[in-house]
A = this chain, B = another copy of it.
Amino acid sequence: MSVTPVQSGSVPGEIVTGTDQARHRPRVVILGAGFGGLNAATALRRAPVEVTVIDRRNYHLFQPLLYQVATAGLSPAQIAMPIRRILSRQSNATVLMDKVEAVDTAAGCVVTGSRRIPYDYLIVATGARHTYFGNDAWAEHAPGLKTITDATAIRARILAAFERAEVTDDPRLRQKLLTFVVVGGGPTGVELAGAIAELSRRTIVHDFRRIDSSSARVVLVEAGERILPAMPPCLSRKAQGQLERLGVEVVLGNAVAGCDDSGVRLVDGTEIGSACILWAAGVMASRAAKWIGAAADRAGRVIVDERLNPPGHDEIFVIGDTASVTDAAGRPVPGVAPAAKQMGRYAAYAILGDMAGRHPAPFRYRDFGNLATIGRKAAVADFGKTRLSGYPAWLVWNFAHLWFLVGFRNRLVVFLDWAVAYARNDRAARLITGHHEA
């Protein structure tokens, strides 16, 4: 969806002659530069507005490939791009790397640690983070995957487990070090489990002398009845079959009761000794609901109407994973990148409509299908009528992810990395860095 600017072709520089006029240009403040926020900002590139994008990180992250950083397949810079680089040529956009403390909806101000930033329109796109359902003590034993720093820490944890197993002479410790548990059977959990299995059985299988890395145990624990619940049941079964062929043990209908140094305890009493537990289970929206004083659903998402406004605030739009929305067609909108992008562009369109005195048509979500990858030549794809699995689905997955990657250079380099990885069964970024580095 492209936006028709109020004064098409008008460039801010041309319009603003005096500060008076400048003061009259609507100020659009966007919180968060994920898929939603960034698409809202770029959709406003020719609009006579002042756009301010606030994010506490300096980069836009291509979340769908973050698991590949966590499993040493890609480098951070290949899936992350500086926000101000992306908006470098958009002269009506200012990027501030800052942490939002609160929103003063009465005064129309965003409050950060250092200053107050007034807005005429506010777009809240602060996304979601993982949740331990109240058991925050599990975090240190079972890290989740949301940021680049999470990913490199998980990468270090996985690789260090093999290194420590090679060094130790204690068979029980070695067994524990060679057991990897992934909690949560959604796309991220499936991708992580598949990637760890491939790492141990293909990539590093010739690298060790004292252990057999391919003997590593990879367990995927899902509380529900099937993995990939967003997929049709037949594809969940296919995905599970492909995981099991890679050597992943899939445990269904069994939730985690506890995590500690020794490993994982499941509700049915099963204990799995592991030194590397990865958390891909619950997701909780950011604190946005508290900021704007709006009602939230159980996942902390702000409940908005079909114009993405919280009740009583037509100047505020909540989009992406932060929003709980049922679209014009009556469907709940899923927390996926395409939905966030569409909501971002809709918010821009609605703001321009409001400036022109038009009442925008309600938001309508276009579902382009659903993809999940398991490993080399293994994936599932759901396009409504068309359903793919195995090699064809894997090809579609590769193509789609390369296509949507930001920046030509990244596309080229990632393609190169994937080609080499495919040919050599290698992974480019097997580095143990950060606090694991003595």
| A247, B290: Cα distance in complex, Å | 48
List the 5 closest pairs (A to B, CB-CB), nearest first.
A77-B429, A97-B163, A75-B75, A84-B207, A56-B438
Pick the interface stretch among A88-96, A334-342, A379-387: A88-96
Chain A contributes a number of interface residues (CB within 8 A of B) equal to 57
Contact A99 B206, beta carbon cutoff 8 Å? no
Residue A262 at the chain B interface, CB threshold 8 Å? no
> Of all chain B residues, which has the CB nearest A72?
B77
Within 8 A of B (CB), among A38-96: 56-59, 75-78, 80, 82, 84-85, 88-89, 94-96
| A147, B431: Cα distance in complex, Å | 12
Contact B76 A78, beta carbon cutoff 8 Å? no
Residue A355 at the chain B interface, CB threshold 8 Å? no
Residue A269 at the chain B interface, CB threshold 8 Å? no
A76-B431, A77-B428 are known; give 4 further A-B pairs, CB within 8 A. A57-B432, A59-B432, A97-B432, A98-B167
Contact B431 A148, beta carbon cutoff 8 Å? yes
Residue A114 at the chain B interface, CB threshold 8 Å? yes
- Chain A 345-360 interface mask (CB, 8 Å, partner B; 1/0): 0000000000000000
Q: Please judge, given known A-B contacts A96-B167, A148-B433, A437-B149, whether A416 and B412 are in contact too, CB under 8 Å.
A: yes
Q: Please judge, given known A-B contacts A76-B75, A88-B207, A210-B94, whether A434 and B166 are in contact too, CB under 8 Å.
A: no
- Chain A 204-215 interface mask (CB, 8 Å, partner B; 1/0): 101111100000
- Chain A 184-214 interface mask (CB, 8 Å, partner B; 1/0): 0000000000000000000010111110000
Contact partner of A88 among B88, B206, B429, CB < 8 A?
A: B206
CB of A319 to closest CB in B, whole Å: 21
Within 8 A of B (CB), among A372-422: 409, 412-413, 416-417, 420
Chain B residues closer than 8 Å to A434, beta-carbon distance: 149, 434
CB of A285 to closest CB in B, whole Å: 18
Chain B residues closer than 8 Å to A114, beta-carbon distance: 167-168
> Of all chain B residues, which has the CB nearest A114?
B167
Contact A431 B163, beta carbon cutoff 8 Å? no
| A206, B438: Cα distance in complex, Å | 39
Q: Please judge, given known A-B contacts A58-B159, A147-B437, A149-B437, whether A430 and B85 are in contact too, CB under 8 Å.
A: yes
Contact B416 A428, beta carbon cutoff 8 Å? no
Residue A179 at the chain B interface, CB threshold 8 Å? no
CB of A33 to closest CB in B, whole Å: 13
Residue A152 at the chain B interface, CB threshold 8 Å? yes
Contact A438 B89, beta carbon cutoff 8 Å? no
Residue A115 at the chain B interface, CB threshold 8 Å? yes
Contact partner of A438 among B99, B207, B210, CB < 8 A?
A: B99
Q: Please judge, given known A-B contacts A59-B431, A76-B75, whether A96 and B420 are in contact too, CB under 8 Å.
A: no
CB of A246 to closest CB in B, whole Å: 21
| A434, B156: Cα distance in complex, Å | 13
Contact A94 B167, beta carbon cutoff 8 Å? no
Contact partner of A84 among B147, B208, B413, CB < 8 A?
A: B208
Chain B residues closer than 8 Å to A206, beta-carbon distance: 88-89
CB of A56 to closest CB in B, whole Å: 4
Chain B residues closer than 8 Å to A152, beta-carbon distance: 433
Residue A20 at the chain B interface, CB threshold 8 Å? no
Q: Please judge, given known A-B contacts A88-B206, A416-B413, whether A430 and B82 are in contact too, CB under 8 Å.
A: yes
CB of A40 to closest CB in B, whole Å: 18
CB of A148 to closest CB in B, whole Å: 5
CB of A83 to closest CB in B, whole Å: 9
CB of A24 to closest CB in B, whole Å: 19
Contact A115 B169, beta carbon cutoff 8 Å? yes
Q: Please judge, given known A-B contacts A88-B206, A416-B412, whether A97 and B430 are in contact too, CB under 8 Å.
A: no
| A98, B164: Cα distance in complex, Å | 8
Contact partner of A58 among B95, B163, B409, B426, CB < 8 A?
A: B163
Chain B residues closer than 8 Å to A82, beta-carbon distance: 207, 430-431
21 pairs from A and B in contact (CB 8 Å cutoff): A57-B437, A58-B159, A58-B430, A59-B430, A59-B432, A75-B429, A76-B431, A77-B429, A77-B431, A82-B207, A84-B204, A88-B206, A94-B209, A94-B210, A95-B207, A95-B209, A97-B166, A114-B168, A148-B437, A149-B437, A416-B416
